[in-house]
Structure 1
Amino acid sequence: MKRAQRGIALLVVMWACTLLAILLGGYAALAHNEGLQASYQFEQTRAYYAAEAGVMRAIYALQATNVNDRWVADGRLYPFVFDGAKVGISVISESGKVDLNAASPDVLTNLFRLAGADPTRAAAVAQAVIDWRSFAISPQQAAQRAAVYAAAGRDYGPRNGPFASVDELQMVLGMDPALYAAVAPYVTIWSGRPSPDPNTAPLLALASLPGMNLQRAAAMIAARPPLSAGNPVPGLVGNNGITHSIRSEAVLADGTRAVLHATVRLQGFRPGSQSFAVLRWQEGDEE
């Protein structure tokens, strides 16, 4: 009887030790995973602030007092090192993009055609953009525009006023995700120009100018003065404009990466006021 009791006690002790080992193993695995997660979050935070430092560096460089220190807002890449992170920064002047609220019908049509729409569809989408941004001259015209959207199965009509954001372009009749993705980097609501500034326009926006094509636009961009020490490119700097889109990408030594997109309006250095205003701020690489 005593042997049986000792055997049961031994078995209980063994089970208890096994259970304790399992619990300790689970705790060790949990602690390890939490340590990895904390390390990942720390590195991700480091990368984020390095990318943010790149945005601040660009804002400073765009309005540097010495023209030789200013950056050109035509999309060229500026390298920057911050706290061990490699940061790549590019800036595009909003004046070099196609303004949804001000662009001429020809420029809009050319842009949509270059982005992949056939000529007929490109012209139709361009007209839809103009209808969206234009005030209706009468209740009858507003009703007619709304009826076109209703016939297409939409539960809304055009704004009959200026675009409030670039994202709103997705709601325009005839626009689809593929066409929007192709044109989104090249359109703006902040330039107020009927056509892009050729000095800073990126490829598709430059090629949308009347009389231009992709080959000529590419040649003009290639002919822009390269970035080099002692070469401030004053002609381009003078056409930077005041509103810019900044893309800052930071990469740490272990490959951790963070991307920030910011649209800022420069307001000059004035006592008691901020030198810039943020119009748009986005984390990640999706437009």
Structure 2
Amino acid sequence: MRGGKGKIHHECRQRGIALVLVLWVIVLLSIIAGAMSMTQRTGVMMTGNIRQEREARALLNAGLNFMALMLERRNRPVEDNPWPVDGRLHPFSFRGRILWIGAAPEEARIDLNQARDEVLLGLFRSIGLEEDQALALRDAILDWRDKDNSRHAEGAEDRDYRSEGRPIGARDSRFLSVEELQQVLGMTPEVYKKLVGALTVDARQRTVNPAFASREVLLAVPGVTPEEVDEYIAQRRQAREQGLPVPMPAFGGAFFKNSMGTRYRLFAELDLADGKKAQAEMVVDTRKKTRKGYMVLQKKFGKPGSLGRAMLPQEEG
């Protein structure tokens, strides 16, 4: 009897162990199934995001290309051209979607390679930099773009970059892009974000076209007051509403030139399904053509804020 009870106890113990093992296997299979399900969901989401991004880029490209085509009509009367070169965004329907497209002369921005010292300083003040930070950044930019290794009073040359653990040093040549400004000693992401919409390397001139310039650019004029700038912006808006030529400001003197030039910045914006926006911009030279149209000097895609301001819509409603 005692042996029979031991045998029964042994069998019960084996069954118990087997049950525990089965339960552990079930738990492991559940974990694996959950992980696979999560991986599949993530894959589906990534696929959806990639599809949305590709679709957005295709639509934005269509908007930019259409706006480039409309540059051929830039000298026609406004009533004969729904997409004028006026620095503002206008609706454009394509494949059942509404895009907002527009164009402005590149001369509406301050050329980073041509700007005078006092204009750069005025621009930095206009975005709220303290005087010492504005002077240091101005001088660092001058040291970056000049050919010598002589340091401006508050600037930065190779030895300053090396002391900050940046062995490449100053370029000692012209900026190739506005993005390069982020490599200048003293530049921060916050300051760059405020500056990017006011600067260019493609205007190739020291003057600015005030009819399309942003408030930050207008405030860069040495000695100008915010009240004078706001009064001019109101005059500019009123002239457009009445279909009249935009007047020249009473301030600025030789800094301003009412010239359209040959280079234009085109802009496209699209509302996405998730409530966000996608943007793109392209700079073209109408004086030069390729088999595909005007020569493209640069093209960028990004989220709102990463490309700077969308020309004048926020300013002029």
Alpha-carbon deviation of 1:115? 1.6
Q: After superposition, what is the alpha-carbon deviation per residue over 1:13-56, rounded to whole angstroms, capped at 9, x for unaligned?
A: xxxxxxxxx9xxx9999999977776665555443322222111
Instruction: Return the alpha-carbon distance in structure 2 between the equivalents of residues 225 and 207 of structure 1.
Output: 17
Please name the residue that 1:96 is paired with: 108
Instruction: Return the alpha-carbon distance in structure 2 between the equivalents of residues 95 and 58 of structure 1.
Output: 18
Please name the residue that 1:203 is paired with: 215
Task: Map 1:19-168; keep pairs closer than 5 Å.
Answer: 42=51, 44-64=53-73, 66-68=75-77, 69=81, 71-74=84-87, 76-136=88-148, 141=150, 145-168=157-180
| Alignment TM-score, normalising by the size of structure 2 | 0.68
Instruction: Return the alpha-carbon distance in structure 1 between the equivalents of residues 239 and 95 of structure 2.
Output: 24
Structure 2 residue identity aligned to 1:241: G
CA change 1:81–1:155 in 2 (3 A) is same
Identity percentage of aligned residues: 26
Instruction: Return the alpha-carbon distance in structure 1 between the equivalents of residues 287 and 259 of structure 2.
Output: 16
Alpha-carbon deviation of 1:196? 2.3
Instruction: Return the alpha-carbon distance in structure 2 between the equivalents of residues 179 and 153 of structure 1.
Output: 21
Q: What number of residue pairs does the alignment pair up?
A: 263
Which stretch has the larger CA shift, 155-164 or 217-226? 217-226
1:124 alignment partner, SS class: helix
Alpha-carbon deviation of 1:273? 4.8
Structure 1 residue identity aligned to 2:197: P
Instruction: Return the alpha-carbon distance in structure 2 between the equivalents of residues 47 and 199 of structure 1.
Output: 31
1:166–1:188 CA contact under 8 A, matched in 2: yes
Alpha-carbon deviation of 1:246? 2.5
Match of 1:261 among 281, 285, 289: 281
1:251–1:257 CA contact under 8 A, matched in 2: yes
2:239–2:246 CA contact under 8 A, matched in 1: no
Task: Name the Cα RMSD after superposition.
Answer: 3.9
Instruction: Return the alpha-carbon distance in structure 2 between the equivalents of residues 124 and 52 of structure 1.
Output: 39
Unaligned runs of 5+ in 1: 1-21
Q: After superposition, what is the alpha-carbon deviation per residue over 1:186-233, rounded to whole angstroms, capped at 9, x for unaligned?
A: 111111222422122111011102232333223322322569899485
2:85–2:102 CA contact under 8 A, matched in 1: no
1:260–1:282 CA contact under 8 A, matched in 2: yes
Alpha-carbon deviation of 1:164? 1.1
Match of 2:259 among 239, 249, 259: 239
Instruction: Return the alpha-carbon distance in structure 1 between the equivalents of residues 291 and 239 of structure 2.
Output: 32
Please name the residue that 2:270 is paired with: 250
Q: Which has the larger radius of gyration?
A: 2
1:267–1:274 CA contact under 8 A, matched in 2: no
Structure 1 residue identity aligned to 2:76: V
CA change 1:27–1:163 in 2 (3 A) is closer
Please name the residue that 2:315 is paired with: none
Instruction: Return the alpha-carbon distance in structure 1 between the equivalents of residues 217 and 58 of structure 2.
Output: 31
Instruction: Return the alpha-carbon distance in structure 2 between the equivalents of residues 165 and 257 of structure 1.
Output: 25
2:74–2:85 CA contact under 8 A, matched in 1: no
Instruction: Return the alpha-carbon distance in structure 1 between the equivalents of residues 67 and 231 of structure 2.
Output: 26
Instruction: Return the alpha-carbon distance in structure 1 between the equivalents of residues 162 and 53 of structure 2.
Output: 46
CA change 1:148–1:225 in 2 (3 A) is same
Unaligned runs of 5+ in 2: 1-29, 249-257, 308-317
2:157 alignment partner, SS class: helix
1:147 alignment partner, SS class: helix
